[in-house]
Amino acid sequence: MRGVVADGRSILVEIHPHFSKTFTDEEARELDQRLRGRAVNGKEPIPFSFKNFLQDPDRMVFTLRSFEREKVVETVLMVGAMRSRPVGVLKVELYQYFGTDISLSAEIQNLIDDGYFREETIIDALVIFPTDELLGQIVRRRKEYREMYGLKDPAAN
């Protein structure tokens, strides 16, 4: 199912047919514009590229300093990378994706609490979105990691 619906606040939300569903709301659209180099509502662009994210084999190394956190974030961002923009996924499906791995499942709520994910209710379902704080953190940490080890920036190709 792909469509556009209004959530409880009369805000248009796109529903995308993957993960079983992915979502794009107004905040995700604004974040996407910032990733594309535009300032939005007084917020500066974020130099994060889904293309570079996909091409970097060490894409999550050193970003959140915890394998479990990095694995959860990488999963959500890979879903977005398939669409070349930030998207939300159903929280219940994210928990199901990690199954019985309690350490990974526990990190979902921790990432929300720390501001790296945001949680929205859309059509009576909880949806998890990446935040600008998360993407900014990845950009900063990746830069530190490259500088520390003298690695080339994959965006410089």
For residue 88, pLDDT beyond 60: yes
Question: For 5-19, 23-37, 108-122, 123-137, which range has the lowest pLDDT when averaged over its residues?
Answer: 5-19
- Residue 100: pLDDT band (50, 70, 90) is confident
Q: Of 23, 16, 73, 19, which is closest to residue 48 (Cα–Cα)? A: 73
CATH for 3-156, options being 1.10.10, 3.40.50, 1.10.3470, 2.60.40: 1.10.10
Phi-psi label, residue 41: left if phi above 0, alpha if psi -120 to 50, beta otherwise: left
CA dihedral of 140, 43, 88, 55, whole degrees rounded to 10: -40
Q: Given this model, what pLDDT does residue 44 score?
A: 95
Q: What is the predicted pLDDT for the residue at 14? A: 58
Tell me whether strands 88-90 and 125-130 are parallel, antiparallel or unpaired.
antiparallel
Per-residue pLDDT at 57: 77
Collect all residues with Cβ–Cβ distance below 8 Å to 42 and sequence separation of at least 6. Answer: none
Q: Would you state the pLDDT for residue 79?
A: 92
Cα–Cα distance for residue pair 59/76, rounded to 1 Å = 13
Quote the pTM value: 0.84
Mean pLDDT of the chain: 86
Strands 88-90 and 117-122: unpaired
List pLDDT tens digits, range 10-35: 566 655 545 888 999 999 999 999 99
30-71: pLDDT as tens digits: 999 999 999 999 999 999 999 888 888 778 777 888 899 999
Whether the CB-CB separation of 132 and 39 falls below 8 Å is answered with: no
Q: Average of pLDDT values for 118-134?
A: 96
Q: Is 143 left (phi over 0), alpha (psi -120 to 50) or beta?
A: alpha
Confidence of residue 96 (pLDDT cuts 50, 70, 90): confident
